[in-house]
Amino acid sequence: MASQDWFDKDFYAVLGVSADADAKAIKAKYRKLARKYHPDNNPGDTAAEQRFKDVGEAYAVLSDPEQRKQYDAVRSMARGGARFTAGGPGGGTPGAGFEDVFSTIFNAGDGARFTTGGGFGGRGGQDPDLDDLLNMFGQGGFSGGGSQYGDPGGRPGGFGSTGFRPPRKGRDVHATAGLSFRQAVEGDTVVVNGVGGGKPITARIPPGVKDGATIRLPGKGEPGPGGAPAGDILLKVTVHPHEVFTRDGDNLRIEVPVTFAEAALGETISVPTLGGDTVKVKLPAGISSGKTLRVKGRGVRRKNGQAGDLLVKVLVTVPQRLTDEARAALEALRDQEAGNDPREALFRKARA
């Protein structure tokens, strides 16, 4: 998303956080809203789907320190927060705005002037682009005064140069894409709208992309001036959480409930995978709740073609209702284990 769009969007309001919220608070609020408005939880609700997309877009910008810094600066300008003091003849005026600043710069240079209507006099009166103005300072458009189009005193290049500058590559454009957990793990081709003047672009998402990663799409940005190469698109990826799976590096984690009998006696159970099929997992007899079992090669695929593992965490469930027979069996088991205190080692270590 190009920075010009940020004037009209209050990402802090979208997430419901203050402008000085830290990264932890922003992430926590995003996860809460993403779960609430996830399409799987709101089938057919177009308003919830749009809210889900807005939340993902806001988080993509505010979770990136550099993008958040740029966004805050742009929003400050939109509110009139960016004020300067003109340095023209006669001294500066406190609180002077952009018109005064750029009028001073251009009148002191090659005769072009910055009009109060936002145009550049002497260059066709075209309205300046926000990023163009910022790039003049950030990319060396003004390297000491004068004009990049040639020094009026007869020197062939801009100030600080010895000749005309080569054509400058087109500007990079920032964009965001929200991915499902499965798209991020398996890779996909997505269409991103509203980039480079509103035209949609197709982006190939490689398998295993992580939340917050930036994918560079060469030559998809703004065209360069005078036939120079186009810039790139920097696609910031937001991965929406899954209701069952979480990611641990190249491994996938899942929590699977098992009955007391399955844990005590041992059993082979079916466990779902991210691909939609199931895998058989053998529970050893007497397995404890919280124990993690490993299924090789059912995790995130790496660039070398190998894949991580599926880590299955066993959670032993306690029956809520017991038949008379089941209660009698458990009481008999309790009586048989009367001399076995599972907390003995705990107390020994506590006293030590």
**What's the pLDDT at 6?**
73
Which of 222, 152, 211 has the alpha carbon at shortest distance from 177?
211
Helices (H), 43-97: 46-62, 65-78
- Do 236 and 273 fall into the same domain? no
Residue 137 lies in a domain: no
- Do 258 and 320 fall into the same domain? yes
Planar angle of CA 320, 323, 324, nearest 5 degrees: 130
Residue 98, pLDDT above cutoff 80: no
Q: What is the pLDDT of residues 141-162, one digit of tens each?
A: 444 444 444 444 444 444 444 4
- Do 204 and 273 fall into the same domain? no
DSSP β-bridge partners for residue 247: 252
- Do 185 and 251 fall into the same domain? no
Is residue 283 very low, low, confident or very high in pLDDT (cuts 50, 70, 90)? very high
Number of domains present in the structure of the chain: 2
- Do 323 and 275 fall into the same domain? yes
Tokens of 27: 């992430």
Is residue 45 very low, low, confident or very high in pLDDT (cuts 50, 70, 90)? confident
**What's the pLDDT at 271?**
97
Q: What is the pLDDT of residues 245-268, one digit of tens each?
A: 999 999 999 999 999 999 999 999
DSSP β-bridge partners for residue 267: 283
Mean pLDDT of the chain: 77
Domain assignment of residue 175, given as a range: 166-241
- Do 346 and 257 fall into the same domain? yes
Tokens of 206: 């490689």
Strand bridging mode 292-295 / 310-316: antiparallel
- Domain boundary among the residues 241, 275, 299 is at 241
Is residue 132 very low, low, confident or very high in pLDDT (cuts 50, 70, 90)? low
- Do 236 and 266 fall into the same domain? no
- 347: left (phi > 0), else alpha (psi -120 to 50), else beta? alpha
Residue 163, pLDDT above cutoff 80: no
Residue 222, pLDDT above cutoff 90: no
C-alpha 315 chain-centroid distance: 32
Is residue 197 very low, low, confident or very high in pLDDT (cuts 50, 70, 90)? low
- Bigger pLDDT: 122 vs 338: 338
DSSP β-bridge partners for residue 270: 280
State which H helix or E strand residue 33 sits in.
helix 23-37
Residue 19 lies in a domain: no
Residue 11 lies in a domain: no
- Do 233 and 214 fall into the same domain? yes
**What's the pLDDT at 273?**
95
Q: What is the pLDDT of residues 287-321, one digit of tens each?
A: 999 999 999 999 998 878 789 999 999 999 988 88
**What's the pLDDT at 79?**
63
Is residue 336 very low, low, confident or very high in pLDDT (cuts 50, 70, 90)? confident
Residue 157 lies in a domain: no
- Do 257 and 325 fall into the same domain? yes
Residue 102 lies in a domain: no
- Do 253 and 224 fall into the same domain? no
Task: Tell me the mean pLDDT in the region 195-207.
Answer: 79
The residue written with tokens 């203050």 in the block is 18
Residue 129 lies in a domain: no
For residues 158-189, one letter each, b for 16 or more C-beta atoms within 10 angstroms of the residue's C-beta and e for the rest, the string is beebeeeeeebbbbbbbbbbbbbbbbbbeebe
**What's the pLDDT at 198?**
66
Residue 9 lies in a domain: no
- Domain boundary among the residues 208, 224, 241 is at 241
- Do 253 and 218 fall into the same domain? no
CA dist., res. 75 & res. 81, Å (int): 8
- Domain boundary among the residues 174, 209, 241 is at 241
Residue 7, pLDDT above cutoff 50: yes
Residue 95 lies in a domain: no
Query: What pTM, to 2 d.p., does this model score?
Result: 0.52
- Contact indicator for 285, 299 with CB cutoff of 8 Å: no
Q: What is the CATH number of the domain that holds 222?
A: 2.60.260.20
Residue 12, pLDDT above cutoff 70: yes
- Do 227 and 321 fall into the same domain? no
